[in-house]
C-alpha cells in the first residue's frame, strides 16, 4: 500500500528518508552482521551510535557546555515525577502554568513531593489560549517554574517565555522540540518524549543544566535520579537502543536539511497555509487563540460533531489520516511535525476546500 499523509499527534510520521535508511541497515548495521536491535548496548558499535546521536543533537540545538543530554525511558510522563524529585531541592515548591491536560498531569505528580503552585490557568476557556504571565507571579520561594511549551491537545504554544526572576525554567517540549530554534540557556531543563519530532516512542530526551544535577531527594529511586544517568552516559541500564539509533538518524536528517532554522521556515509555511485557509473558511473554525497558535498541532471544528466525523472519514479515504481531535476536545487536529512534508499540508488544504464546497 502507498504511504498516507499521517496527521497523528504522536506517535507521528517520520521522515521517509530515515525509515529507508533504517530499513537498509535493519538486518545488518555497518560491518556488525547484526541489527541494532540485536546488538549489545555495551558494544563499540552501539557506543558510537549513542555518542553520535548526542553529538548531532548537541550541534543542531546548540546545547551549551554546561548542559547534559540524556536519553531516558518512561516517556515525558515519567519526567512529571522525576523533575520535582530532583529539582525541588531547597523550597520543595515549584510554580506551574496550567495550559492543559499535560500540565495538569505534571502538577498532580509534583504534588506528591512538594508544593505545586499554579500561578495561572487557561482552563476557563478549554485551554484555548496561553495566560498572560508577569514576573511578580514567580516568587523566589520556589525551586523552578514549569511550563508546557506547546499544548498538543489544544493547539496552543508560548510565543514568548515567561520572565521567571532567575528561577530555572523547565519546559515540556514533547510536541515542539526541534521544530523551532530555542536558546537552551534560557532553560534549566528541557524534556521531550520522542514520538513526535524525535523518533520512535520509547526514548525521552532530557537536557539539563549541570547545577540542577545531584540534589535529588533521598527517596528518589536510582532510575529517577538524573545523576545516575549522567554518571553512566545514559547507560545505567539497558537503554532503548533502537529508538536512540532512529533518533540519531532523525537528528542527522535535520542537520543535513539546513538545521532547525531551515526546518522552522518550512514549519511556518505549513502552518500559515492551514491557518490562512481556516481564517477564511465558512465551514471550519480554528479553536486556538490567534496569538497563541501552535505551529505543530492545528485544531479546528465545524461546530457539528456529525460533520466533523464525516470530514475525518472522507479525508481518510483520500490518504489524509488521523485527523480526529483529541477525545477530550473533539473536532479535528492536524499535527504537522517536522516530518510532515509541505506537500501533505497542501493536499489537506485542497481537500478541505473541496469538502467545504460540497458541504457548506
Alpha-carbon distance of 124 to 177, in angstroms, equals 27
Smaller CB separation from ligand PMP, 100 or 286:
100
Count of alpha carbons within 13 angstroms of residue 281, beta-carbon side: 26
Q: State the alpha helices, DSSP H only, in the chain.
A: 16-24, 44-61, 75-87, 101-110, 226-231, 241-256, 259-280, 305-317, 342-359
Work out whether 292 is an interface residue with ligand PMP (CB under 6 A). no
Cell digits of residue 202: 520509547
* Under rule CB under 6 A, residue 10 binds ligand PMP: yes
**Nearest-approach distance from CB 274 to ligand PMP, in angstroms:** 19
Among 122, 171, 175, 220, indicate the residue that binds ligand PMP (CB under 6 A): 175
75 in contact with ligand PMP (CB under 6 A): yes
Residue 102 interacts with ligand PMP (CB under 6 A)?
Answer: yes
Q: Is 22 in the site for ligand PMP (CB under 6 A)?
A: no
Per-residue DSSP letter, 168: P
174 interacts with ligand PMP by CB under 6 A: yes
Nearest approach, Cβ of 130 to ligand PMP (angstroms)? 13
Nearest residue to 153 via CA among 261, 290, 46, 297: 297
Q: What element of type H or E holds 147? A: strand 144-148
Does 76 sit near ligand PMP (CB under 6 A)? yes
The single residue among 6, 58, 148, 322 that binds ligand PMP, judged by CB under 6 A, is 148
Residues with Cβ within 8 Å of residue 352, at least 6 apart in sequence: 277, 281, 284, 311
* 124 belongs to the catalytic site: no
* Distance of closest approach, residue 48 Cβ to ligand PMP, in angstroms: 26
Binding site for ligand PMP (CB under 6 A): 10, 75-77, 102, 148, 152, 172, 174-175, 193
- Catalytic residue numbers read 102, 172, 196
Amino acid at each position: 500500500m502507498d504511504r498516507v499523509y499521517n496527521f497523528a499527534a504522536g506517535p507521528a510520521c517520520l521522515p521517509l528518508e530515515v525509515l529507508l535508511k533504517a530499513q537498509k541497515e535493519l538486518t545488518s548495521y555497518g560491518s556488525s552482521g547484526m541489527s541494532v536491535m540485536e546488538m549489545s548496548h555495551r558494544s563499540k558499535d552501539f557506543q558510537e551510535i549513542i555518542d553520535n546521536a548526542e553529538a548531532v543533537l548537541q550541534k543542531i540545538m546548540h546545547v551549551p557546555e554546561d548542559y547534559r543530554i540524556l536519553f531516558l525511558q518512561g516517556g515525558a510522563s515519567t519526567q512529571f515525577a522525576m523533575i520535582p524529585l530532583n529539582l525541588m531541592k531547597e523550597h520543595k515548591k515549584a510554580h506551574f502554568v496550567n495550559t492543559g491536560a499535560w500540565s495538569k498531569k505534571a502538577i498532580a505528580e509534583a504534588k506528591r513531593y512538594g508544593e505545586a503552585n499554579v500561578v495561572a490557568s487557561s482552563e476557563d476557556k478549554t485551554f484555548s489560549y496561553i495566560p498572560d504571565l508577569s514576573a511578580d507571579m514567580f516568587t523566589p520561594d520556589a525551586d523552578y517554574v514549569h511550563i508546557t511549551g506547546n499544548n498538543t491537545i489544544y493547539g496552543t504554544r508560548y510565543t514568548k517565555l515567561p520572565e521567571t526572576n532567575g528561577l530555572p525554567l523547565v519546559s515540556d517540549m514533547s510536541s515542539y522540540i526541534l521544530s523551532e530554534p530555542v536558546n537552551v540557556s534560557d532553560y534549566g531543563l528541557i524534556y521531550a518524549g520522542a514520538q513526535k519530532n524525535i523518533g520512535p516512542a520509547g526514548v525521552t530526551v532530557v537536557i539539563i543544566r549541570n547545577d540542577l544535577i545531584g540534589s535529588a531527594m533521598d527517596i528518589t529511586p536510582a532510575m529517577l535520579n538524573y545523576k545516575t544517568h549522567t554518571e553512566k552516559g545514559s547507560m545505567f541500564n539497558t537503554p532503548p537502543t533502537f529508538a536512540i539509533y532512529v533518533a540519531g538518524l532523525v537528528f542527522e536528517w535535520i542537520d543535513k536539511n539546513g538545521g532547525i532554522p531551515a526546518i522552522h521556515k518550512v514549519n511556518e509555511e505549513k502552518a500559515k497555509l492551514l491557518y490562512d485557509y481556516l481564517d477564511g473558511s465558512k465551514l471550519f473554525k480554528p479553536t486556538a487563540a490567534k496569538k497563541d497558535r501552535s505551529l505543530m498541532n492545528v485544531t479546528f471544528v465545524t461546530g457539528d460533531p456529525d460533520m466533523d466525523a464525516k470530514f475525518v472519514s472522507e479525508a481518510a479515504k483520500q490518504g489524509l489520516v488521523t485527523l480526529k481531535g483529541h477525545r477530550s476536545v473533539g473536532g479535528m487536529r492536524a499535527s504537522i511535525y517536522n516530518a510532515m512534508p509541505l506537500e501533505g499540508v497542501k493536499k489537506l488544504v485542497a481537500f478541505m476546500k473541496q469538502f467545504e464546497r460540497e458541504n457548506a
